[in-house]
C-alpha cells in the first residue's frame, strides 16, 4: 500500500513557516511553558522511510526500499549518494559510524572511522620547538586520515545486505554522471571554500570555477562517477587497491601527505557492540568508543532521569540548568577518559555506573551555577568541526539504521584526489594535536586521544536508536562536532519528556554546554529573555550563536506509522512510502 511520498517540505505552508520561525525567530516566548506549535507532525509514511541531508539521497534510499531492499541496502545507497550530492560532508574519502537494530531486536554497530596513517606520530603537527603549526591538521594533505567509508559499506553489505552490491552503488554513479542541481546553501558553501580549494590542490579542482556557483547550476562529477564505477565493479578493491588507490597515493605525494598503499590495504572497518542504557522506559542503543557520543548521551540521560523535566517545562530555567550541569560534567569526563579502545582503556562501565552518575550530580546546586573549574581540573574537549551528516532509515520489516558520516570540516581537507574526483577528510584534527596544550583553536585534548599510527581519532558522532517497551521507537542523529551529543540529547528529551512530535523536536531551537568554555551557547530564541535573565542571575554565562546541527530522525507512532523529523536548518528531507 502506498501512502504519502512527498518530502517534509510539502507540509502545510503555515506549519512550515511556524517551524522555521521557531528556529530562527521564535513562535512563542513564554518561558517555562511549551513554546512549540501544537502537534506539528513531519512527513508520515506507513511502511518505510529515509531521512537525510539531501532530497536526492533520501529519494535514492527510498527507491532501494521500494525495490525490496532492506535498511542496510538503503544505507549503502544513501551513503554513496550523499558522497555525490553533498560534497561538504557526504563522502567516500572520510568515515563514519552506523548503529542498527534488526527487526528481531538484535542491535549492533559498525565503526568505519578513519585511522592515522602508519607514518603518523604524536608530534606530527608540531614544529621542532614543540609548537603546534597552524593549519597543518585542518587543511591539506597531512590532515587526512585513512578513509573508512568504502570498507564500511562493503562490510555492511557482506553481513546484512540483500540486494546486489552493484544495484546499491549505481544510483550514485548516475547522479555523479548526470550532475546535481545546486541548492542555495551548496552554491554558497562551494563559493565560500573556493580559495581553500585552490590553496590545497596543485591542480584546479573541479569544485571551483571562475565565476561563483549559483543555486540552480548543475555540478557534474565525471571523475567521481568513474571511481564509483570501480567500487561498483570491484568492491573494496575498487578503492583500496588498483587505480583509485594509485590516484590517492599519487595525490598524497604531490604534497606533504603520508598515506601509503599499505595504509589503504590495511584499513578495516570494525563491528562493535553498541553501548546501551535506559532512560525511564526507553532503551537507548548508541555508538561505543572511539566515538564519545554513545557514552556521553547515556550519561546525560541518566543524570537527568531522576528529575521531572516535564513538570519543569521545556526551556524553563530549571530544565536548562539541570541539562547544562549534566553536560558540564559529562564533557569533563569525555576530555579525560575517551579515546580509541584499541589503544587506551576506556572505562565505559564505570562512566555509566548509576552510583557514579548520582555522585556526579550530587554537587548540583539549583540556586547557582557550578563553575567548570570546580567540576574537574583537567583537559578540555577536543575541537571538532561541525560539518558531518546523518541519515536515519526504517525499512518495511522494521529494521533500522542510524548512520553519521563525515569528512570532519566542510569539504574536509579541501584536497580533491586528482583524476578520482573525491574529497579527502581532515579527520586527523579530531586527535589531540598536542595533548594538554591549546591547539590552533585555543582548545586542548587529553592523552587518551593522542595521535598514534593506526589509531582512530575520538569522535562525538552519536547515531542512536531508541526502543520503547521493547519495540523500535526512534532513530536519531545529527552532525555538529561537539554539539552532536547535546543536539541528540535534546531531540530525544523533546519527544519523550516534553511531548513534541518528531518534526517539532528536530526544529526546536537548541542550547549547548561543553564544560569549557564555561558558557551556555544557544541558538537565537532558544531561551526566552526572562529565562536568560534568571540563568545569568544564578551565575551562568550565555553566548548566542548561529543555528547548528541537522538532526534527521524517525519516530514510530503508536499506530506503527513513521514520522520524519527533517531538520529545517539544512536542505534535509524525508522520503518514504
Ligand atoms: N569529525 C566530527 C566527529 O567525529 O565528531
Cell representation of residue 382: 577536543
Q: Which position has the higher pLDDT, 495 or 439?
A: 495
**pLDDT tens digits, residue range 471-518?**
999 999 999 988 999 999 999 999 999 999 999 999 999 999 998 889
Cell representation of residue 95: 568515515
Do the domain assignments include residue 557? no
Q: Which position has the higher pLDDT, 37 or 27?
A: 37
| Ligand 1 atom with minimal separation from the 458 CA | 4
Asked if the model's pLDDT at residue 169 lies above 80, the reply is yes
pLDDT of the residue at 376: 58
E-only strand ranges, 252-297: 270-272, 275-279, 282-286
Give the phi and the psi of residue 49 in degrees, each rounded to 5: -155, 150
pLDDT of the residue at 387: 75
Which amino acid residue places its CA nearest to atom 1 of ligand 1? 408
Which amino acid residue places its CA nearest to atom 4 of ligand 1? 459
Give the phi and the psi of residue 388 in degrees, each rounded to 5: -150, 175
Cell representation of residue 406: 563525515
pLDDT of the residue at 36: 45
Identify any residues that bridge with 472 across adjacent strands, giving them in sequence order: 467
- Poorest-pLDDT segment among 76-90, 193-207, 314-328, 375-389: 375-389
pLDDT of the residue at 237: 98
Calculate how far, in angstroms, residue 430's C-alpha sits from the geometric centre of ligand 1: 7
Calculate how far, in angstroms, residue 95's C-alpha sits from the geometric centre of ligand 1: 9
- Residue in 381, 428, 433 with CA at minimum distance from that of residue 134: 433
The average confidence (pLDDT) of the chain is: 90
Beta pairing, strands 471-476 & 464-468 = antiparallel
Asked if the model's pLDDT at residue 340 lies above 60, the reply is yes
Percent residues over pLDDT 70 in the chain: 89
Calculate how far, in angstroms, residue 461's C-alpha sits from the geometric centre of ligand 1: 6
Do the domain assignments include residue 204? yes
Average pLDDT of the residues in 153-159: 98
Average pLDDT of the residues in 413-430: 97
Asked if the model's pLDDT at residue 355 lies above 80, the reply is yes
Asked if the model's pLDDT at residue 7 lies above 50, the reply is no
Average pLDDT of the residues in 382-389: 61
With the most atoms of ligand 1 within 8 angstroms of its CB, the residue from 340, 386, 408 to mutate is 408
- 388 catalytic per annotation: yes
Do the domain assignments include residue 154? yes
Asked if the model's pLDDT at residue 311 lies above 60, the reply is yes
SS3 204: coil
pLDDT of the residue at 410: 93
pLDDT of the residue at 370: 86
Tell me which of 227, 388, 464, 486 is the catalytic residue: 388
DSSP string, 65-95: HHTT--HHHHHHHHHHHHHHH-TTT--SSSE
Do the domain assignments include residue 136? yes
Which pLDDT band holds residue 437 (cuts at 50, 70, 90)? low
Calculate how far, in angstroms, residue 225's C-alpha sits from the geometric centre of ligand 1: 27
**pLDDT tens digits, residue range 205-253?**
999 999 999 999 999 999 999 999 999 999 999 999 999 999 999 999 9
- Residue in 318, 377, 403 with CA at minimum distance from that of residue 72: 403
Identify any residues that bridge with 51 across adjacent strands, giving them in sequence order: 392, 574
Residues 6+ apart with CB under 8 A from 264: 146, 239, 240, 241, 245, 248, 249
Distance of CA 225 to the CA centre of its chain: 25
pLDDT of the residue at 386: 58
- Poorest-pLDDT segment among 40-44, 212-216, 393-397: 40-44
Do the domain assignments include residue 267? yes
**pLDDT tens digits, residue range 10-36?**
333 333 333 433 433 333 223 333 444
| Ligand 1 atom with minimal separation from the 482 CA | 5
pLDDT of the residue at 378: 30
Q: Specify the DSSP class assigned to residue 315.
A: T
Do the domain assignments include residue 111? no
SS3 157: helix
pLDDT of the residue at 517: 86
Which pLDDT band holds residue 385 (cuts at 50, 70, 90)? very low
State how far the Cα of 551 lies from the Cα of 504, in Å rounded to an integer: 11
Q: How far is CA 143 from CA 66, 97, 312, in A?
A: 40, 20, 45
Pocket of ligand 1 (CB under 6 A): 384, 388, 406, 408, 430, 459-461, 481
Q: How many domains does the chain contain in total?
A: 1
Give the range of the structural domain holding residue 263, as residue numbers without chain letter. 70-94+122-271+412-449
Residue given cell 542555495 in the structure block = 184
Amino acid at each position: 500500500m502506498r501512502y504519502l511520498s512527498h518530502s517534509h517540505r510539502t507540509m502545510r505552508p503555515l506549519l512550515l513557516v511556524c517551524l522555521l520561525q521557531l528556529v530562527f525567530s521564535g513562535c512563542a516566548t513564554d518561558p517555562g511553558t511549551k513554546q512549540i506549535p501544537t502537534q506539528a507532525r513531519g512527513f508520515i509514511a506507513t511502511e518505510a522511510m529515509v531521512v537525510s541531508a539531501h532530497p536526492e539521497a533520501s529519494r535514492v534510499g527510498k527507491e532501494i526500499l521500494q525495490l525490496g531492499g532492506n535498511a542496510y541496502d538503503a544505507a549503502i545507497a544513501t551513503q554513496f549518494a550523499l558522497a555525490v550530492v553533498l560534497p561538504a560532508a557526504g563522502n567516500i574519502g572520510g568515515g563514519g559510524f552506523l548503529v542498527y537494530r534488526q527487526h528481531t531486536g538484535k542491535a549492533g554497530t559498525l565503526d568505519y572511522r578513519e585511522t592515522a596513517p602508519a607514518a603518523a606520530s604524536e608530534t606530527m603537527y608540531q614544529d621542532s620547538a614543540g609548537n603546534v603549526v597552524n593549519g597543518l591538521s585542518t587543511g591539506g594533505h597531512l590532515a587526512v586520515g585513512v578513509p573508512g567509508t568504502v570498507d564500511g559499506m562493503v562490510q555492511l553489505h557482506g553481513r546484512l545486505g540483500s540486494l546486489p552490491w552493484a544495484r546499491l552503488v549505481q544510483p550514485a554513479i548516475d547522479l555523479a554522471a548526470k550532475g546535481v542541481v545546486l541548492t542555495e546553501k551548496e552554491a554558497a558553501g562551494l563559493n565560500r571554500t573556493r580559495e581553500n580549494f585552490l590553496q590545497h590542490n596543485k591542480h584546479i579542482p573541479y569544485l571551483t570555477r571562475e565565476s561563483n556557483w549559483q543555486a540552480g547550476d548543475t555540478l557534474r562529477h565525471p571523475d567521481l562517477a568513474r571511481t564509483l564505477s570501480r567500487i561498483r565493479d570491484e568492491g573494496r578493491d575498487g578503492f583500496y587497491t588498483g587505480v583509485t588507490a594509485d590516484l590517492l597515493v599519487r595525490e598524497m605525494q604531490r604534497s606533504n601527505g603520508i598515506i601509503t598503499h599499505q595504509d589503504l590495504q590495511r584499513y578495516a572497518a570494525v563491528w562493535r557492540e553498541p553501548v546501551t542504557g535506559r532512560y525511564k522506559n526507553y532503551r537507548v542503543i548508541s555508538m561505543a568508543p572511539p566515538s564519545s557520543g554513545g557514552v556521553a548521551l547515556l550519561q546525560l540521560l541518566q543524570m537527568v532521569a531522576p528529575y521531572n523535566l516535564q513538570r519543569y517545562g521545556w526551556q524553563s530555567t530549571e530544565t536548562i540548568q539541570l541539562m547544562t550541569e549534566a553536560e558540564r560534567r559529562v564533557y569533563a569526563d569525555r576530555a579525560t577518559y575517551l579515546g580509541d579502545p584499541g589503544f587506551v582503556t576506556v572505562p565505559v562501565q564505570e562512566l555509566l555506573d548509576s552510583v557514579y552518575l548520582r555522585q556526579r550530580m550530587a554537587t548540583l546546586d539549583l540556586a547557582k551555577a557550578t563553575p567548570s573549574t570546580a567540576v574537574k581540573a583537567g583537559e578540555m574537549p577536543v575541537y571538532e568541526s561541525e560539518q558531518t551528516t546523518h541519515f536515519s532509515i526504517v525499512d518495511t520489516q522494521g529494521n533500522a539504521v542510524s548512520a553519521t558520516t563525515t569528512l570532519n570540516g566542510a569539504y574536509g581537507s579541501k584536497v580533491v584526489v586528482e583524476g578520482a574526483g573525491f574529497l579527502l577528510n581532515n579527520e586527523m584534527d579530531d586527535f589531540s594535536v598536542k595533548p594538554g596544550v591549546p591547539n590552533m583553536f585555543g582548545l586542548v585534548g587529553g592523552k587518551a586521544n593522542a595521535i598514534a599510527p593506526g589509531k582512530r581519532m575520538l569522535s562525538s558522532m552519536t547515531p542512536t536508536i531508541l526502543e520503547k517497551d521493547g519495540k523500535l521507537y526512534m532513530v536519531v542523529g545529527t552532525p555538529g562536532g561537539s554539539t552532536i551529543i547535546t543536539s541528540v540529547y535534546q531531540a530525544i528529551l523533546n519527544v519523550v519528556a516534553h511531548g513534541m512530535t518528531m518534526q517539532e523536536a528536530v526544529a526546536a531551537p537548541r542550547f549547548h554546554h561543553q564544560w569549557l568554555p564555561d558558557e551556555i551557547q544557544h541558538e537565537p530564541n532558544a531561551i526566552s529573555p526572562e529565562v536568560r535573565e534568571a540563568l545569568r542571575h544564578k551565575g551562568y554565562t550565555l553566548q548566542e550563536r548561529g543555528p547548528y546541527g541537522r538532526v534527521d530522525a524517525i519516530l514510530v507512532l503508536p499506530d506503527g506509522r513513521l514520522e520524519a523529523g527533517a531538520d529545517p536548518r539544512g536542505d534535509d528531507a524525508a522520503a518514504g512510502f
